[in-house]
Amino acid sequence: MTNQCVLITGANGEIGHGLIRFLSREGLTKIVALDRSPIDDYQKEVEFYKGDILDRNLIDELGRRYQFDTIFHLAGILSTGGERDPLLAHNVNVEGSLNLLNMADAQSMQRGKPVVFFFPSTIAIYGFESLEQKVKAGKINEDNYLHATTMYGINKLYIENLGRYFSQTYKRFDTTPGLTRIDFRCIRLPGIMSADSLPSGGTSDYGPEMIHAAAQGKPYECFVTPETRLPFMAMPDAIDAIISIARAKKSVLSSTVYNIGSFSISAEEIRQEVMKYFSAAQISFKPNPQRLAIVNSWPGDVDDSRARRDWAWKSDFDRVSAFRDYLIPGIMRRYSVSASKVSLTSCVGA
């Protein structure tokens, strides 16, 4: 993938940082980044634009200035943020995505070459009626329980459909022969845990927050119950999945939408992993009914066999190695925790 030009929206978010770091290290891609706040660390390697995805003039201007091979559209308002201001979330998540899809469509048509449009969907597009139904369902595939309960989940599910529409039947009555459409690809991400950054405005945030608080010696009150279960993934796996699907041959993709899994873990099991390394960590549980209800509506695990079969998706980490080899060593570096303060027998990768 040499001399490619990519656009990353939401570049200052957690995944944006990880993606920029990966592409910069590789050094093969021209990176154009967009965010409402500057990305301090990477200004030299990246052509950065400070702005909003709702600014249609800016998006169209980027479309005129660059020829994008791939657009990683990461900007959006997450589930808890979205419930705090549902109309704003709808506007940003839907109208902002539409602006990007429209620009990608114009570029694809002008160049006669489909722009790859990567969209991060989420387990929040699923919705269970009750905790009992969630537990009974176990690992779920892409086609069932599509009853999102949050504005964020509803927006993501709609954009999954809108992206497929843009890639298949948008402008169906246009008479241009051989109309070139965008190449829309999306994965449904589980909760993500990064050693380098903390999420904000999500509802799976209790996982990473628990680990980061322990490393800083801060007490943490977890807002779900100990038995609350979600699928989670370490950030390097998420970046690997995003790059892999964006670069997969079109001919192997049987769908525009894929689950990807790594490990399923309860809040109590996260606490136990954290306690292996930070034995003095003070973690208690004080469920917040509204946030708990959101997490209880999401699956505890996902069936990712479609991604494994089509584009050879495979997570590099399991529950134990995600903590031992990635999260704990990275978080210790981030907060300059000295090795003597953690239980080194557990910290093989430190």
**Which of 18, 202, 261, 330 is the binder for ligand AKB (CB under 6 A)?**
202
Q: Which residues partner with 119 through β-bridges?
A: 186
Question: Cβ distance 48 to 59 under 8 Å?
Answer: no
Q: What would the DSSP string read from start to end of 174-233?
A: ---TT----EEEEEEE-EEE-SS----S-STTHHHHHHHHHHTT--EEESS-TT-EEEEE
Minimal CB distance residue for ligand AKB: 202
User: The tokens 């003095």 sit on which residue?
Assistant: 280
Whichever of 9 and 29 has its CB closer to ligand AKB, that residue is 9
Question: Cβ distance 71 to 6 under 8 Å?
Answer: yes
With vertex at residue 231, the alpha carbon angle to CA 318 and CA 306, rounded to the nearest 5 degrees, is 85
Residue 249: what residue type? K
**Cα–Cα distance between 194 and 206 in angstroms, integer?**
12
66's tokens: 């660059």
Nearest distance from C-beta of residue 299 to ligand AKB, angstroms:
10
The stretch among 30-38, 96-104, 116-124, 162-170 that binds ligand AKB (CB under 6 A) is 116-124
Backbone angles phi, psi at 242, to 5 degrees: -65, -45
Nearest distance from C-beta of residue 25 to ligand AKB, angstroms:
25
Whichever of 78 and 257 has its CB closer to ligand AKB, that residue is 78
Check if 66 is active-site.
no
According to the binding rule CB under 6 A, does residue 123 interact with ligand AKB?
Answer: yes
Whichever of 79 and 315 has its CB closer to ligand AKB, that residue is 79
Nearest distance from C-beta of residue 224 to ligand AKB, angstroms:
11
**Which of 93, 122, 194, 256 is the binder for ligand AKB (CB under 6 A)?**
122
Point out the catalytic residue in the list 42, 49, 126, 152.
Answer: 152
230's tokens: 């979600």
**Which of 78, 100, 238, 242 is the binder for ligand AKB (CB under 6 A)?**
78
Contacts of ligand AKB in 286-345 (CB under 6 A): none
According to the binding rule CB under 6 A, does residue 124 interact with ligand AKB?
Answer: yes
Would you tell me which residues interact with ligand AKB (CB under 6 A)?
A: 78-79, 122-124, 152, 191, 202-204
Active site amino acids: 152
